[in-house]
Every structure is written in C-alpha cells, then in structure tokens.
C-alpha cells in the first residue's frame, strides 16, 4: 500500500513538471509581454532593458527552471499586468471562483438528482420527455450563449437579476463572500446556472439511467411484492443504490467546474481566477498564466490521486463489512 502511494505521488509530481514545461514552451507563442508593458513611445533600448530585467531574453528551459526555483519558495513572481504578487492576486480571486463553483455544483447535484429521479419514475410522461429533450439543448449549447441568453431574459427584459459582477460582498478575514448580502446572492443565480447547466444535465442523465437499471432489479420487485409504498421503494431502496456512481462523477466534475469557470466569468464579469487568467492571456502575463495553470493541474492531479487511492482503499472485504453493518 505504502509503495503504491509513493509511486502514485511520484507520478503526480512528474505530471506536474511536464505540464509546467509544456506551458512554458507555449508561452513564447502567446506573444510578447514587453509590447504590452511599455507604451507606444517605447524605444528598442527600453524593450531590451525590460526583457533582460524580466529574464525573457533567456531560453525557456532557463525561465522554467527559475520559475520552479521560485515556486519552491512559494514565490510565483509579480504580475506583469498589475505589478502585484501573483500569490496575492490568486488568494484575492479564489473566493469568487470557489463560491461560484460551490453554488453551481450544488445546483447541478440537486437539480440533476431531482430531475433524474422524476424522469426515471415517469419515463413515459410528457413532462419527462420534455425534460429529456430540453436537457439535450442544455448539453449542446455553448456556455457563453446560455449566459448571454440568461442575461437577456432576466437582466434586460425582466430586470430581476444583475447582468454582471458579484454584487455587494462581505469580507471575513481574507475571504470575501457574496452569501451574506441580497445583491450578492442575486448575482450568484445566473452565473451558477450557466456554469452548472452542463453538469446538471450530465448528472440527470446518469441518475436516470442508473435508476432505470436499479428499478429492474429483483430486490425492487420483491420490495413491491412485499407491499411497500412507491415512495419507500423509489427513495428508500432505488435511489440509495444509484448514488454511488453519481458521487464519484460529481467529485471528478468539481474540477472541471472550477476550470470551466473561465468562460462564465468572462460573460458575467465575475471577478474570479478564470477572469484573471483570461486577462493574463490577453496581456501575456506569464507569471499569472504559469501560476494558474500549475494550480489547476495540481487540483486535477490531486483529485485523481485521491480517487486512485480510494480505489485501493475500497477493498471488497471492507465493502462486505459495511454492507453487513447497514443491515
């Protein structure tokens, strides 16, 4: 077990290093940051001086090595765009993205499970058919279009919800939250739906198919034969048995919710790390891009590592023990 863990952690570190190397080799194709940092009156001497000062005159393996050295000390450098430490920027922006990801994850999970159960139980009802058709649209429409559509209906035409930003936020230590104000909560609604819609339809379809599968099982038939109510059968027996794969998928999807927040954040001017990253790409803000990409890859590698370790931990015998205890 320990050998396995060490091997997996070692592999994860290799993956991170490779991601960083690929990222750094790509930065040269994004453009020249110096061009954005100096005004239009800059001279060639200014360009050379700044390039040397930032170490951009070095080949990319050297730049990457320096980045690693500094990152090991917890220093991700200064943002070229804002002249502030990247670590500060990420910490400042993280709450916005995490709150958005949390709410849209919740929305996706709750909405997906409820609709999944409904469409499984009433699989021939017209409403269930309608939901299934509508979910196809949810899967196939691009995020930015859904966002603009929602803004158009709920902000411009109806005037119920704000079209951009986080509303009023409350500061608790270094964390800023939009959960404690009315405008903050209102501002969360449209971006969360936009971001969570795809995941919701995914979970809904998963729950539905798992549920249909389970409902065909013998023990459900026996439960019905025993005269248990529909409610007890559907929720007490069927649902419980569908949730295991749902939870696994949801865990993995959380990573993509945070990573996909880029588009939603751009449409809604949501001041999170995704917007920070988009701005960094446009400005060729290499320190911010590097830190963001490393952060996201750490997150994905971390989630996968945990999942892998869980698979090992979940030994068949343990499962048998738990099943016995439940009875």
Partner 1 sequence: MKRLVTAMMLGTAALALAAPASAETLRWAAAGDSLTLDPHAQNEGPTHTMSHQVYETLLHRDMAGKIVPSLATEWAPTDDPNKWEFKLRPGVKFHDGADFTASDVVFSLKRAMLPDSDMKELLASVSDVVAVDDLTVQIVTNGPNPILPSNLTNLFILDEGWAKANGVEKPQDFEGGEETFAVRNANGTGAFMLVERAPDSKTVLKRNPNHWGKDQFSQDVTEIVFTPIQNAATRVAALLSGEVDFIQDVPVQDLGRVEAADGLVVRTAPQNRVIFFGMNVGDADLKTDNIEGKNPFADPRVREAMNMAINRDAIRQVVMRGQSQPAGVIMPPFVNGWTPELDAVPATDVAKAKALMAEAGYGDGFSVTLNCPNDRYINDEAICQAAVGMMGQIGIKVALDAKPKAQHFPLIGGYETDFYMLGWGVPTFDSEYIFNFLVHTKGEKYGSWNGTRYSNPELDAKIESLASETDLAKRDATIAEIWQVVQAETIYLPIHHQVLNWGMKSAIDFPVQPEDQPHFKYLTFKK
Residues that bind partner 1 (CB under 8 A): 29-33, 35-47, 49, 53-54, 75, 77-78, 80-85, 88, 148, 151-152, 155-156, 159, 162-166, 168, 170, 179-182, 266-269, 271, 275-276, 278-279, 282-284
**Distances in Å between the alpha carbon of 74 and those of 9, 67, 68, 127, 325?**
20, 10, 10, 54, 46
Give min distance, CB of 22 to partner 1, in A: 19
CA 197/CA 145 separation, integer angstroms: 12
Closest CB to partner 1 among residues 181, 304? 181
Closest CB to partner 1 among residues 53, 129? 53
Closest CB to partner 1 among residues 44, 133? 44
292 exposed, middle or buried (CB, 10 Å; 0-12, 13-18, 19+)?
A: buried
Give min distance, CB of 183 to partner 1, in A: 8
**Distances in Å between the alpha carbon of 289 and those of 26, 38, 125, 277, 296?**
11, 19, 49, 6, 11
Q: Which two tokens stand for residue 119?
A: 């469409």
Give min distance, CB of 164 to partner 1, in A: 5
**154 Cβ contact list (under 8 Å, min separation 6):** 160, 161, 189, 190
Region of 181 (left: φ > 0; alpha: ψ -120 to 50; beta: rest) is beta
Give min distance, CB of 26 to partner 1, in A: 12
Closest CB to partner 1 among residues 217, 282? 282
Give min distance, CB of 205 to partner 1, in A: 30
Closest CB to partner 1 among residues 84, 122? 84
Give min distance, CB of 114 to partner 1, in A: 20
Q: Which two tokens stand for residue 265?
A: 């954040």
**Distances in Å between the alpha carbon of 87 and those of 77, 101, 148, 261?**
8, 20, 32, 19
Closest CB to partner 1 among residues 162, 196? 162
């Amino acid at each position: 077990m320990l050998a396995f863990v060490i091997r997996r952690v070692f592999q994860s570190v290799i993956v991170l290093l490779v991601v960083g190397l690929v990222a750094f080799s790509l930065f040269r194709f994004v453009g020249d940051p110096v061009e954005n940092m100096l005004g239009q009156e800059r001279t060639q001497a200014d360009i050379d001086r700044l390039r040397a000062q930032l170490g951009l005159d070095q080949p990319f393996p050297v730049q990457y090595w320096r980045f690693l050295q500094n990152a090991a000390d917890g220093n991700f450098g200064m943002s070229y765009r804002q002249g502030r430490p990247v670590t500060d920027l990420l910490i400042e922006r993280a709450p916005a993205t995490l709150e958005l990801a949390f709410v849209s994850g919740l929305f996706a999970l709750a909405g997906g499970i409820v609709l999944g159960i409904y469409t499984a139980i009433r699989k021939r009802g017209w409403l269930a058919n309608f939901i299934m058709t509508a979910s196809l649209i949810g899967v196939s429409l691009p995020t930015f279009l859904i966002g603009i559509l929602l803004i158009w209906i709920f902000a411009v035409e109806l005037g119920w919800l704000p079209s951009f930003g986080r509303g009023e936020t409350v500061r608790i230590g270094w964390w800023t939250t939009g959960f404690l104000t009315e405008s903050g909560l209102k501002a969360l609604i449209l971006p969360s739906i936009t971001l969570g819609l795809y995941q919701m339809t995914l979970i809904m379809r998963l729950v539905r198919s798992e549920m249909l599968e389970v409902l065909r099982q013998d023990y459900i038939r026996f439960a019905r034969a025993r005269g248990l109510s529909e409610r007890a059968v559907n929720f007490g027996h069927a649902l419980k048995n569908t949730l295991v794969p749902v939870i696994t998928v949801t865990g993995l999807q959380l990573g993509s919710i945070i990573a996909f927040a880029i588009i939603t954040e751009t449409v809604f001017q949501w001041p999170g790390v995704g917007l920070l990253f988009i701005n960094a790409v446009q400005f060729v803000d290499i320190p911010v891009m590097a830190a963001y990409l490393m952060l996201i890859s750490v997150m994905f590698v971390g989630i996968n590592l945990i999942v892998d370790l869980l698979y090992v931990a979940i030994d068949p015998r343990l499962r048998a023990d738990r099943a016995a205890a439940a009875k």
